């Protein structure tokens, strides 16, 4: 039964994407849960800002040095699995681990080298040393995480999405357990300063990566012998190592350039945003609140809809790569539709929920000295969450379809647009200028890429547009229900955390229940999942 379920997941891009997203969702949900005690331990908007900002810098450097390689690994593994060339798979694994070791080392050294300069741009006065230390401790993770991503990329290409999901969840669970236990012991048992808890929190990323490596190595010991056995029995010629290295580089370099351009938001929000806020005239105290909301709380909340991007991208690449290898253009189009439809159906309402429950999130989950100001920031950030979900998926569709030159050109234009308008908009509008800059630049990227896919592959997006319109209508209805329930007392304002959580949970369930009913009435889930969800059918299943 387990093998049959695994086979279904491998064959369906929707199931693969949802399984991949499921593991990431568990990981991000754990990230939200630990925020409650962790915020209580730090008790500082400044420390939370440093923590979130450091992670954005770390994420950018990690993505620049590793983003292209897991995708290249996955694509090559999918390609040579279809070709039944197990000897090539052995070589690809060796190449990928060596490449990740080299790039991980380079990324770690780069982050350590520039930690002082970055700290001076981000933190004021005496806190520069704290910020620099946070960056140096976090840099160690860049050595371990790429090796873990190499294993994940390899088994992603083999469509082992259940392991991909479990690995993500296991790593995050281990990180949270280490972070909370050591931070609590340091502050409340040993009486150390709260900055020690901050250092232990960033150290947890390296510790969890090592634990994740051990876990996936155990999985590898079970699965890899199958490939070794097939390689021994293989009689057909295999590709020489130098050819595979060239293919690997040819695939990885464009993804690397995409990472440099596509993940620049991490640098914009961690380095350029503070400069713009100072130029607008915010005080340091106001900046701490805003940056904490953007780079710590906002990152945690937008990560929930944005997990759809890596979740579906991880499924998209092997499926489209396989369809292209088999020259099945109809299947390619079907995979693209399934991916975009599912992401819109799930991603838009989840992202908009950040706007609806911004104040509740602070009442229940996060520390801040100014709930009203912090909630105001989060209400804008939902737009960044949605654009950060859809744009990477469309970009990776372009990459997988081989339209690399076009997407790189557009990413460069997107970067130039945002760089040109971000600080002027912040000076004029304050922090909302950042979101407006994202909306303009990413909006251009998404629509221009979809237009080229339409022209190059004769793929019409009318059905996707219909689903988007219906999802928007349902989301508006959802907002009305949410605010109506809040008006009758189903909110967290003026209550304790547990009671507030219970009220918001009821509100959330009823609000999303209405969303599902409205979309069902408009036949959205039926169109997305290619299923007829009828009451009679559900009744028969229940019997």
Q: pTM for this structure?
A: 0.73
User: Is 518 in the same domain as 447?
Assistant: no
Of the pLDDT bands very low, low, confident and very high (cuts 50, 70, 90), residue 6 is very low
Q: Which of 78-92, 307-321, 365-379, 431-445 has the highest mean pLDDT?
A: 431-445
Least confident of 237-246, 264-273, 463-472: 264-273
pLDDT at 4: 46
Q: At a CB cut-off of 8 Å and minimum separation 6, what does 396 contact? A: 71, 313, 316, 317
User: Is 213 in the same domain as 252?
Assistant: yes
Q: Stretch 166-173: mean pLDDT, rounded? A: 83
* CA dihedral for 393, 396, 402, 406, sign (positive or negative): positive
pLDDT at 298: 86
Contact 335, 318 (CB under 8 A): no
User: Is 393 in the same domain as 496?
Assistant: no
**Does 333 or 29 have the greater pLDDT score?**
333
Of the pLDDT bands very low, low, confident and very high (cuts 50, 70, 90), residue 29 is low
User: Is 45 in the same domain as 183?
Assistant: yes
pLDDT at 506: 95
Q: What is the mean pLDDT of the chain?
A: 84
Of the pLDDT bands very low, low, confident and very high (cuts 50, 70, 90), residue 400 is confident
Residue with tokens 């997006």: 461
What are the structure tokens assigned to 221, written together?
């010991």
* CA dihedral for 257, 261, 265, 267, sign (positive or negative): positive
Least confident of 16-20, 124-128, 233-237, 468-472: 16-20
User: Is 323 in the same domain as 398?
Assistant: yes
Instruction: Tell whether the model's pLDDT for residue 117 goes beyond 70.
Output: yes
Q: What distance in Å separates the CA atoms of residue 81 and residue 261, rounded to the nearest whole number?
A: 31
Select from 393, 398, 402 the least CA-distant residue to 324: 402
> SS3 of 488, please?
coil
Q: What distance in Å separates the CA atoms of residue 93 and residue 172, rounded to the nearest whole number?
A: 25
User: Is 412 in the same domain as 291?
Assistant: yes
Q: What percent of the chain has pLDDT over 90?
A: 38
Q: What distance in Å separates the CA atoms of residue 406 and residue 38, rounded to the nearest whole number?
A: 43
Least confident of 114-128, 447-461, 470-484: 114-128
Residue 541: HSE in the Cβ half-sphere, 13 Å Cα cutoff: 6
Radius of gyration of the chain (CA): 23
- Return the axis-axis angle of helices 45-66 and 86-122, rounded to nearest 10°: 140
Domain coverage including residue 286: 2-460
User: Is 449 in the same domain as 380?
Assistant: yes
Q: What distance in Å separates the CA atoms of residue 184 and residue 125, rounded to the nearest whole number?
A: 27
Distances, alpha carbon 216 to alpha carbons 122, 148, 233, in Å:
36, 8, 26
- Looking at the structure of the chain, the number of domains it has is 2
Instruction: Tell whether the model's pLDDT for residue 137 goes beyond 90.
Output: yes
Q: Stretch 365-375: mean pLDDT, rounded? A: 87
Q: Stretch 207-224: mean pLDDT, rounded? A: 92
Q: What distance in Å separates the CA atoms of residue 343 and residue 111, rounded to the nearest whole number?
A: 34
Of the pLDDT bands very low, low, confident and very high (cuts 50, 70, 90), residue 539 is very low
- Alpha-carbon torsion angle 386, 391, 396, 398, nearest 10: 140
User: Is 117 in the same domain as 182?
Assistant: yes
User: Is 424 in the same domain as 524?
Assistant: no
Q: Which of 36-50, 61-75, 329-343, 436-450 has the highest mean pLDDT?
A: 436-450
Contact 485, 512 (CB under 8 A): no
Q: What distance in Å separates the CA atoms of residue 71 and residue 26, rounded to the nearest whole number?
A: 22
Q: Tell me which of 433, 460, 487 is where a domain ends.
A: 460
What are the structure tokens assigned to 487, written together?
């008006």
User: Is 354 in the same domain as 499?
Assistant: no
Q: Tell me which of 402, 437, 460 is where a domain ends.
A: 460
Q: What distance in Å separates the CA atoms of residue 475 and residue 512, rounded to the nearest whole number?
A: 9
User: Is 310 in the same domain as 185?
Assistant: yes
pLDDT at 59: 83
Q: Which tens digits make up the pLDDT trace of 282-330?
A: 998 899 899 989 988 888 888 777 766 555 555 555 666 667 767 777 8
Instruction: Tell whether the model's pLDDT for residue 7 goes beyond 50.
Output: no
Q: At a CB cut-off of 8 Å and minimum separation 6, what does 348 contact? A: 305, 386, 468, 471, 472, 475
Q: Stretch 124-129: mean pLDDT, rounded? A: 84
Q: What distance in Å separates the CA atoms of residue 438 and residue 434, rounded to the nearest whole number?
A: 6
Select from 12, 162, 17, 4 the least CA-distant residue to 530: 12
User: Is 471 in the same domain as 339?
Assistant: no
Of the pLDDT bands very low, low, confident and very high (cuts 50, 70, 90), residue 19 is low
Residue with tokens 């912040």: 426
> SS3 of 369, please?
coil
> SS3 of 357, please?
coil
Q: Tell me which of 460, 489, 518 is where a domain ends.
A: 460
Q: What distance in Å separates the CA atoms of residue 348 and residue 8, rounded to the nearest whole number?
A: 27
Select from 434, 390, 28 the least CA-distant residue to 270: 434
pLDDT at 386: 92
Contact 519, 470 (CB under 8 A): yes
């Amino acid at each position: 039964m387990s093998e049959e379920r695994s086979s279904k997941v491998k064959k369906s891009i929707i199931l693969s994407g949802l399984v991949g997203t499921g593991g990431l969702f568990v990981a991000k949900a754990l990230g939200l849960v630990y925020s409650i005690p962790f915020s209580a331990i730090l008790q500082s908007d400044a420390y939370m800002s440093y923590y979130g900002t450091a992670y954005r810098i770390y994420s950018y450097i990690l993505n620049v040095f590793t983003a292209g390689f897991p995708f290249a690994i996955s694509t090559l593994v999918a390609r040579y699995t279809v070709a039944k060339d197990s000897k090539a798979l052995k070589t690809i694994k060796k190449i990928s681990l060596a490449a990740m070791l080299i790039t991980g080392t380079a990324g770690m050294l780069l982050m350590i080298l520039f930690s002082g300069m970055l700290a001076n741009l981000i933190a004021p006065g005496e806190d520069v040393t704290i910020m620099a230390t946070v960056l140096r401790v976090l840099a160690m993770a860049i050595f371990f995480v790429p090796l873990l991503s190499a294993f994940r990329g390899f088994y992603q290409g083999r469509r082992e999405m259940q392991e991909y999901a479990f690995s993500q969840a296991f790593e995050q669970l281990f990180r949270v357990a280490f972070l909370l236990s050591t931070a609590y012991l340091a502050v409340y048992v040993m009486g150390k300063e709260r900055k020690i808890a901050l250092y232990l929190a960033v150290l947890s990323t390296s510790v969890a990566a090592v634990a994740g490596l051990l876990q996936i190595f155990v999985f590898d010991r079970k699965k890899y012998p199958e490939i070794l056995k097939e390689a021994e029995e293989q009689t057909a010629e295999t590709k020489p190592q130098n050819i595979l290295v060239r293919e690997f580089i040819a695939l990885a370099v464009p993804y690397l350039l995409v990472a440099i351009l596509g993940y620049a938001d991490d640098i914009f929000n961690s380095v350029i945003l503070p400069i713009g806020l100072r130029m607008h005239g915010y005080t340091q105290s106001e900046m701490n609140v805003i940056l904490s909301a953007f780079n710590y709380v906002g990152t945690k909340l937008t990560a929930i809809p944005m997990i759809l991007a890596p979740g579906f991208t991880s499924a998209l690449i092997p499926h489209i790569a396989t369809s292209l290898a088999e020259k099945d253009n109809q299947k390619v189009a079907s995979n693209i539709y399934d991916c975009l439809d599912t992401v819109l159906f799930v991603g838009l309402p989840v992202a908009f929920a950040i706007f609806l429950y911004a104040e509740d999130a602070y009442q229940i989950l996060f520390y801040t000295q100014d709930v009203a100001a912090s909630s105001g920031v989060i209400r804008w950030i939902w737009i960044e969450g949605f654009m950060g979900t859809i744009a990477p998926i469309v970009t990776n569709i372009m990459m997988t379809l081989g339209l690399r030159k076009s997407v790189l050109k557009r990413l460069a234009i997107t970067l130039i647009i945002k760089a040109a308008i971000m600080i002027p908009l912040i000076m004029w509008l304050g922090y909302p200028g950042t979101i407006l800059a994202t909306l303009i630049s990413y909006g251009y990227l998404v629509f221009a890429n979809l237009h080229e896919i339409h022209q190059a592959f004769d793929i019409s997006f009318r059905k996707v547009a219909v689903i988007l319109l219906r999802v928007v209508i349902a989301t508006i209805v959802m907002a009305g229900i949410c605010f109506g329930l809040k008006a009758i007392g189903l909110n967290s304002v003026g209550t304790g955390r547990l009671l507030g959580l219970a009220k918001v949970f009821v509100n959330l369930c009823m609000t999303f229940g209405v969303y599902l009913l409205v979309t069902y009435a408009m036949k959205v889930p039926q169109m997305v999942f290619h299923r007829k969800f009828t009451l009679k059918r559900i009744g028969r299943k229940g019997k």
